Structure 1
Amino acid sequence: MKKASTAKFPLQLGIIKPNSAGIDVGSMNMMVAYPGADGIQQVQEFDAYTDDLHALADHLQQVGVHYVAMEATGSYWLTVYDVLTTRGFEVTVANPTHYKNVDAQKTDVNDSQWLQQLHAHGLLRSSHIAEEQYRELRAYIHQRNIKQSQKSDTLNRIQKVLTEMNIKVQHIISDIEGVTGMMIIERISTGITDPAALLAGVKINQLKASKEDLERSLVGLYKPYQITLLKNHLADYHYYKSKMLEFEKEITDLLTRLVPPHAGSVAKKEKATKVRKNQYHYNIKEYLHKIVGVDLTEIDGLEENTVLTIISVTGLNMKKWPTAGHFTSWLNLAARPKISGGKVIGYQKRITNNTATQAFRMAAQTMFKNKGQLGQLYRRLSATKGSKKAIKAVARRLAVIFYNMVSKQTKYDPKMVVLDEEKIRERKLARLNREVAKLGGKVVFANN
């Protein structure tokens, strides 16, 4: 029998932040709970108009509140957060899934009181919120992605109209969105139906298809209303493409402001090489290198689009996560074991919509053809544990490298991901010995 611990603990939780308030944020009103002068919790309701937000800040300053806690509900918390932080309050935005009120006792008043009590005892964990400029960058990237999705949907509608006209050129040309494909579609939308006229000026020798196949693919049933539909879809396509470019310019302007003065300026110019579909026209890589201080695109799988997406979510202040383990746990890329009786009985399954997590996982998916160490790790894990676990493991490794490079300002070193071949060999031998031991034998290796 083990000896009982003699450590003494208070029966009540101590108050760590006595001057704290809890806010239940709604679309049109807010319930605010805070400690009164007599030590009794007070609850007051405020409207959600802008002048009411400033009145709320004034009131909290008058009653001596410094710490404020609220839950991240939709987008309503954003304006409250901005007003309170600019007024000097230390604001904690808590994830609603991280705390629970008493069952069947959920009201706006109770929620604000519960938030205030938890925050006063120091039991709330703040969600990660990037600095303002990175939130702006994230908004631009999100809107560009929306326009890209709308452009892709419109391109599908264009191909549907071509199919209804029994035109097969979209199956003959590998990329209908390329220069040749769009030139032919533009001519069809103007009413040209003759295959020879549609192919005039087209560099057929650069295509895999023959001239005869191209001409046959353009013999269709050209109906006036279908040409009208095609013309309108094409106008929508160019509109969304122009909007993508507009947001891209906004992103580039913001990146220009994010470049530190000591890093030097970056010339805003378009790429000299041909831009791949949906890629940025400007040299984002150079901006990222000067902003971050190291070239993160040297990491296998992390292209400039991926890095841009990740830093728009995380920012560059890695001190918010004490270690790489904390960073990967926040990304939901680290295993969370369930331990009972000193034994691991399973692992928690969590779902996250974190954009940075999705970016790391997408980068990990590209490793199946990679010839480097990360590619070897992916293929080995995929063969033994399945592709899902392989993607998560490689994504975690990428996140660790990202964290170390940004926090320590070190250049990418392939040795960071070198697999420990000796440990792998030992695990294989141990597994082989266990299998042979079940059969009553023993593995003996001959010395070379």
Structure 2
Amino acid sequence: MTKIATGGHPDLKMVNPAAAAIDIGSTMHMAAVNPEACETPVRAFGTFTQDLHDLADWLKPCGVTSVAMESTGVYWIPAFEVLEARGFDVTLVNARYAKNVPGRKTDVSDAGWLRQLHSYGLLRGSFRPEAEIATLSAYLRQRERLVEYAAAHIQHMQKALMEMNLQLHHVVSDITRATGMRIIRAIVAGERDPEVLAVFRDIRCHSSIEVIKAALVGNDRDEHIFALSQSLDLYDFYQAKIEGCDRKLEAAVAGLTVKAPGDVAALPKARIKRKQVNAPSFDVRAALYGVLGTDLTQIHGLGPSLALKLVAECGADLLAWKSAKHFTSWLCLARGNKISGGKLLSSRTRRSSSRAAALLRVAATTIGRSDTALGAFYPRLSFRIGKQKAVTATARKIAVLFYNAVRFGMTYRDPGAVAYEERHRSRVLANLQRRAKTLGFALAPLPNTEAVS
């Protein structure tokens, strides 16, 4: 019996013979090119900058025009940037795609197998935002880390106050607001008299001076004052770093490509006038409006900070997705479609670590308490299928609105909860009438009976 070799894949057509691939590692990158272009088609390179340039110098004579690499941690970023700057078409590939394609991955190196898949056109590139969006995203993520570090020192200040039995957090809503910070700074400066400390109360504080004075009677042990002082210094340090990050963010937003040049309508009236906690110090809403030509905060659930984070994660044009369905599928917010033998096996949404999807879910959870169309949609669905699925479905609706606003400049106007309820009632009634007609009956309203939605 003659053994048939199947490793060559004769039924597949090579669409990209000038393809190369790199297996990314922390200390070594393994690169593979077409065996017909070089005597040594697989070579190892280091991860130093000069090694990356040597890699590019080796790929050029081999006639390589396109390079595929897996998104391994953060190790791929230097190689990606160097090769892209040298003129190569670099494709960032999800490792799951390479593993799901059948082949002898155990018999050949990862780089050679990845190159073969890329040459046959079997790999699909992951979404990689433009350079200006990537810069904006880097500043935003750095700012989020600084906010987390500052939050830890807020807890340290509160712990020191509790050890001194100063119940400040019980009489003010936030110790980092005007009243709390004035009192804490006075304590660190050496003031101990509760009557003097209570005078630092801001006029907007709900607690009276007498209540604040009673809460500030405690002990002044030196070790607790020392801990409070150091925590305050560290909190102020991170606040200064956050302010510096805000200046970089403001410049990055101003540097984005303006989507709507020319005369733009005046900025609509803000839905929410209250400033969000930990929001950037510049007018994010006006800055995004100048770039996009539409006010994303008119979509309920999207505040200025959350809208900025979504733009930083998805881009300012969303041209990478053909439609809103493609966009929600990329976010793993659309229903699955696992079919075999003509039977639907599962419609569950795929698991995802997308930061944009997480942000949209946050928006969905906050919108359920609002008197809006989306606010009426969420509790109805939550009662029927559960809160988790209702959050995903509401997040998908917000994602569609976000896509249409950014891609096509749609201006969102909320129809209101009453309009949604009436539309839902009309839809249910139409379905009941259709079912009754198929069974040979006709529906008629009951006299003097209130309708139940």
TM-score of the superposition, structure 1-length normalised? Answer: 0.87
| Contact 1:35–1:41 (Cα < 8 Å) also in 2 | no
Task: Give the deviation of 1:41 after TM superposition.
Answer: 8.2
User: CA contact under 8 A between 2:199 and 2:209: conserved in structure 1?
Assistant: no
**Partner residue of 1:3?**
none
Q: Could you say which residue in structure 2 is the equivalent of 1:193?
A: 192
Pairs within 5 Å for 1:152-301: 152-203=151-202, 206-258=204-256, 260=258, 262=261, 275-301=275-301
Residue 293 of structure 1, CA deviation? 2.1
**Partner SS state of residue 249, structure 1:** helix
Residue aligning to 2:5? none
How far the C-alpha of 1:40 sits from its partner, in A, is 8.4
1:28 maps to amino acid: T
SS of the residue aligned with 1:68?
strand
1:170–1:117 CA distance, 2 compared to 1 (3 A): same
User: 1:390: how far off?
Assistant: 1.1
Assess if the C-alpha contact under 8 Å between 1:316 and 1:406 holds in 2.
yes
Shift of 1:201: 4.3
Query: For the aligned residues, what is the CA RMSD?
Result: 2.9
| SS across alignment from 1:290 | helix
Are the equivalent residues in 2 in contact too, given 1:259–1:287 (CA < 8 A)? no
Counterpart in the other structure of 1:143: 142
Q: Distance in 1 between matches of 2:405 and 2:199?
A: 53
Aligned to 2:398: 398
Alignment pair present for 1:423 and 2:427: yes
Are 2:412 and 1:408 equivalent residues in the alignment?
no
Q: How many residues align?
A: 424
Shift of 1:58: 2.0
Q: Which runs of 5+ in 1 are unaligned?
A: 1-9, 266-270, 434-440
Distance (Å, rounded) in 2 between the aligned partners of 1:302 and 1:59? 48
**Corresponding residue for 2:97?**
98
Structure 2: 5+ residue stretches without partners: 1-8, 265-269, 447-453
In 1, Cα distance between equivalents of 2:403 and 2:294: 12
Kindly tell me: are residues 47 and 215 of structure 1, through their superposed partners in 2, closer, same or farther at Cα, counting changes over 3 Å? same
* Mapped partners of 2:441, 2:243: distance in 1: 64
Paired residues of 2:183 and 2:200 also in contact (CA < 8 A):
no
CA–CA distance in structure 2, aligned partners of residues 196 and 375 of structure 1: 46
| 1:88-119 deviation line (CA, Å, top 9, x unaligned) | 21111111122218799659x71101110111
1:326-376 CA distances to partner (integer Å, 9 max, x unpaired)? 110111111113222211122355332211111111111111112111111
Q: Residues of 1 paired with 2:304 and 2:393: CA distance?
A: 22
Residues 154-183 of structure 1: per-residue CA shift (max 9 Å, x gap): 111111111111111211112221101111
The amino acid across from 1:26 in the alignment is G
Change (3 A) 1:223 1:263: farther
Give the CA deviation at 1:426: 4.2
Q: Following superposition of structure 1 onto structure 2, how do residues 342-357 of structure 1 map, counting pairs within 5 Å?
A: 342-348=342-348, 350-357=350-357
Deviations 1:6-36 (A, max 9, x none): xxxx961111111101110112221111113
Show the counterpart of 1:57: 56
- Percent identity, aligned pairs only? 34
Structure 1 equivalent of residue 314 of structure 2:
314
Amino acid of the residue matched to residue 350 of structure 2?
Answer: R
- Contact preservation (8 Å) 1:401, 1:416: no
